[in-house]
Chains A and B, each alone.
Chain A
């Protein structure tokens, strides 16, 4: 927990800024997912806050959660974490006994914080569990098509390739779909998302082919399965994921290849989108323009440049009927089991 000690003195000096903490956490640890970063930021917030009653704590939590959600352009993944933490707090507080509403608040607080950390550690371990569950899906001689920069997928593929010479060594090939949009937008990185994973896999001796998004339909015939990551898993078992996942799902369904999604169970969000345009975020993917509009826009280029310094990574929604199974740390689930898991957490 290096980050904790790192941000403590800073926050002591000035009022605790949850958004900055969240962003810093994400930057400092490339392995951190959004929900976990959010939970970690909230735990840090509680560490710093001088709150002395339960309702004060919950209030503070609700406030800063709302603040955080508003400040981040795409709060879907994040809200999974904050909701989970809030739920966890409430159930802990409602439990009878020494830590219940009647108990000593100080004890409750320390318990909460220590358990919050335990929670984070467990969440980080969940990736290993996923690997254990998902390794059986990758078999000798198969070809996996994947996309995006999901760390869960990357760790699954790398673990599968890892065991050189062992009895469970898997020889497989990967077709990596590299997004063309992010090549333009993410100029800071200089390379499309996922190149890192491609390099790592190649270093382990896995033959990797990179294709553009337009070649997915062409390449799917050579693939045996599709494995994608997810930003959030929604209540009906669909996934919110990097733009382009939906079309891969549609194509995989049409061609009849299994479509697996790898996601940690803390990414389950209480959200129920009815379609692409029902997500709680604003995306300007489809932007109709006439010659006039372009001319108008070019007259005030400074304005727009200031307005959106960070281009939002756009996402789409893959409906549950396209997904064969979700590989999570609580097992391999069908999409309809997601709501059961969510209900278990919430009630």
Chain B
């Protein structure tokens, strides 16, 4: 293996004999640089993703590129010093922000350079202090432990930059999604870089699809991996993978299934005997990944569909929510077996996952009715069964799935004046989690609220045109003036937005308006009658037992 060491790796190992020091910096960089639009810049004028990312990221990209190039020759000590300087600059900027609008012009101008050299970093703490900054003018500057204060400040009427995070969910805003690949650690494999973007843009969507895609990407990572000198594969590959994982998690928080799969993979890596030659170890791992996908997802899906089909009878009216792959498989198979039933798909904004399901089922020749979640009471009236997909199942038997699922399940179980409808969840055991969810607030995922904006209702005349729509554009440059770097983007975004004046287009500048785009909700175990897994049909209460068994074996 020593012969095949790549040039860049050798250079790395010669400049950094102990491997450890250069690692911390790139390792932290994905999480640090993740909110390219951090809490402060997000509060600045509305940026459409398309409009803003180009002008703003272009300099950032070039400078980080330069940064990456200059990274290599730096010694660990220099790196440390650099990191320290950046931290100091960040602090100074925060302080300047806190001082309010007047000081900001002077304070942030010199910072702009350093800010560009490495995108600003806003871990959770900064979000909190950013929120606290709004209290600044009032003369109460709490710096630490300002979590609850942030929430209170959201309601405060008089302040310049309104906190746009919904206070109950404020703890979830820490994980802002990465918008580009720049700033990613250099260890991140191109396949993983691409996957990250696909995950972020919902190209790869759905718990199992994300899990499979991740595993396949990791397979490519393993294939192109060479163990550096002085370490063993079992020890180094895990850290190498964790770079990929932390990059992925900045694109979109990891799904339960992804987490479980990664855990299994890491366990498999750790179980490799250090004396195994690298090529065979890699082959073993690739086999492991292939088997894992086959056992836990492909075949599991077939088994689940097979047993779920048995629950479908002639004359059934089956309600399903959004687009679950396993539910689709079940319904198609039942149709293929000649069962005669109707499907009613409930869908919701903004992802409209049910549309492709409706199309697929209709193409196969099933009777499909498609409606949005607002029509749930109507759709549930003649339902006989509800089939749901899952994002995860928690240890207290609750179903963690696309937001709206709980509503459908509840409507089915508490149908007014009717027999209750059985709610059946199809879920692979890889989606079982050892976590406990009591509500959908503590653990959840917040997607970009801008996703809620663009879908425009057809132009209606329901009242006089809103004069505010004409007054808002001039406000933007004024606000943008605070952050010098963001000013041009504000103009571009304003100009791109004007042709389609969605009433919510300028929501970030509209006071007292907050948008919440939550991804998941939690369905109580009482609303779930049956969980169909590849290990059989279970009541929700058996989830922890099965999870324990499937992880132990």
Q: Tell whether B536 is near chain A: CB-to-CB under 8 Å.
A: yes
Q: Tell whether A147 is near chain B: CB-to-CB under 8 Å.
A: no
- Residues in A neighbouring B538, C-beta threshold 8 A: 235, 339, 343
Within the complex, what minimum Cβ distance (angstroms) separates A332 from chain B? 17
Q: Tell whether A336 is near chain B: CB-to-CB under 8 Å.
A: yes
Please tell me if the beta carbons of A274 and B422 are within 8 angstroms of each other in the complex: yes
- Which of A272, A320, A346, A347 gathers most chain B CB within 10 Å? A272
Q: Which residue of B lies closest to A347 (CB)?
A: B549
* CB contacts between A and B, total, < 8 Å: 40
Q: Tell whether A77 is near chain B: CB-to-CB under 8 Å.
A: no
Q: A278, A336, A346: which contacts B541 (Cβ < 8 A)?
A: A336
Q: Tell whether B535 is near chain A: CB-to-CB under 8 Å.
A: yes
Please tell me if the beta carbons of A340 and B545 are within 8 angstroms of each other in the complex: yes
Q: Tell whether B71 is near chain A: CB-to-CB under 8 Å.
A: no
- Residues in B neighbouring A275, C-beta threshold 8 A: 422
Within the complex, what minimum Cβ distance (angstroms) separates A253 from chain B? 15
**Residues 222-244 (chain A) with a chain B CB within 8 angstroms:** 235-237
Q: Which residue of A lies closest to B535 (CB)?
A: A347
- Residues in A neighbouring B311, C-beta threshold 8 A: 274, 278
Q: B422, B424, B537, B549: which contacts A235 (Cβ < 8 A)?
A: B537
Within the complex, what minimum Cβ distance (angstroms) separates A346 from chain B? 7
Q: Which residue of B lies closest to A236 (CB)?
A: B539
- Residues in A neighbouring B545, C-beta threshold 8 A: 339-340, 343
Within the complex, what minimum Cβ distance (angstroms) separates B529 from chain A? 6
Known contacts A274-B311, A274-B529, A274-B530; is-contact A346 B536 (Cβ 8 Å): yes
Q: Tell whether B5 is near chain A: CB-to-CB under 8 Å.
A: no
**Residues 259-286 (chain A) with a chain B CB within 8 angstroms:** 270, 272, 274-275, 278
- Residues in B neighbouring A339, C-beta threshold 8 A: 538-539, 541-542, 545
Q: Tell whether B546 is near chain A: CB-to-CB under 8 Å.
A: yes
B526-540 interface bits toward A, Cβ cutoff 8 Å, 1 = contact, 0 = none: 000110000111110
- Residues in B neighbouring A346, C-beta threshold 8 A: 536
On chain A, the number of residues with a Cβ less than 8 Å from chain B's Cβ atoms is 15
- Residues in A neighbouring B536, C-beta threshold 8 A: 235, 270, 343, 346
Please tell me if the beta carbons of A336 and B542 are within 8 angstroms of each other in the complex: yes
**Residues 500-540 (chain B) with a chain A CB within 8 angstroms:** 529-530, 535-539
- Which of B530, B541, B549 gathers most chain A CB within 10 Å? B541
Q: A270, A278, A336: which contacts B539 (Cβ < 8 A)?
A: A336
User: What's the Cα separation between A340 and B535 when bound, in Å?
Assistant: 13
Please tell me if the beta carbons of A343 and B542 are within 8 angstroms of each other in the complex: yes
Please tell me if the beta carbons of A343 and B546 are within 8 angstroms of each other in the complex: yes
User: What's the Cα separation between A217 and B529 when bound, in Å?
Assistant: 28
User: What's the Cα separation between A33 and B539 when bound, in Å?
Assistant: 27
User: What's the Cα separation between A275 and B529 when bound, in Å?
Assistant: 10
User: What's the Cα separation between A270 and B539 when bound, in Å?
Assistant: 12
Within the complex, what minimum Cβ distance (angstroms) separates A273 from chain B? 10
Within the complex, what minimum Cβ distance (angstroms) separates B442 from chain A? 24
User: What's the Cα separation between A304 and B71 when bound, in Å?
Assistant: 91
Within the complex, what minimum Cβ distance (angstroms) separates B510 from chain A? 48
**Residues 67-115 (chain B) with a chain A CB within 8 angstroms:** none
Q: Which residue of B lies closest to A338 (CB)?
A: B539
User: What's the Cα separation between A270 and B546 when bound, in Å?
Assistant: 15
Q: Which residue of B lies closest to A280 (CB)?
A: B310
> Closest 9 CB pairs between A and B?
A336-B541, A339-B542, A236-B539, A274-B422, A272-B537, A340-B545, A339-B539, A339-B538, A343-B545
Residues of B within 8 A of A (CB): 311, 385, 422, 424, 529-530, 535-539, 541-542, 545-546, 549
Residues of A within 8 A of B (CB): 235-237, 270, 272, 274-275, 278, 320, 336, 339-340, 343, 346-347
Known: A270-B536, A274-B529, A346-B536. 18 other contacts (CB 8 A): A235-B537, A235-B538, A236-B530, A237-B539, A272-B530, A274-B530, A275-B422, A278-B311, A336-B539, A339-B538, A339-B539, A339-B541, A339-B542, A340-B542, A340-B545, A343-B535, A343-B549, A347-B535
What are 6 contact pairs spanning A and B, CB under 8 A?
Answer: A235-B537, A274-B530, A343-B536, A343-B542, A343-B549, A347-B535
